[in-house]
Amino acid sequence: MAYKHYERFRYHSGFAKAYDKKLSDLHNDAVSLSDYKTIKKNHKDKFGWIVDARAYVGWIAFPLLISLLGQHCWLFN
């Protein structure tokens, strides 16, 4: 879960950094979102499958898994 949160943090900070540079270069010119696809592709190349992972699945599945494993161990002790 921590890695997923880190991945999302890096995505948004990378996006912000790219647009900060663009704003610095353009000054008063209008900002275009044409670089969005490039930023998203670079991010996906760096993090792979974790980009498509949904954090809520982990928040639901991990407690259930712990509960099931704890129950299983309790039955055999």
Instruction: Tell me the pLDDT tens digit for each residue of 11-61.
Output: 999 988 888 777 777 765 555 556 677 888 888 999 999 888 888 788 888
Task: Give the tokens for residue 2.
Answer: 């921590």
Full-model pTM:
0.47
- Rounded-to-integer distance, Cα 34 and Cα 25, Å: 15
Following DSSP, what letter does each residue of 5-74 receive, concatenated?
HHHHHHHHHHHHHHHHHHHHHHTTSPPP-TTHHHHHHHHHHHHGGGGT--HHHHHHHHHHHHHHHHHHHH
Residue 48 pLDDT: 92
pLDDT at 75 over 70: no
Q: Do the Cβ atoms of 31 and 23 come closer than 8 Å?
A: yes
Q: Inform me whether the pLDDT recorded for 77 exceeds 80.
A: no
Arithmetic mean of pLDDT, 54-70: 83
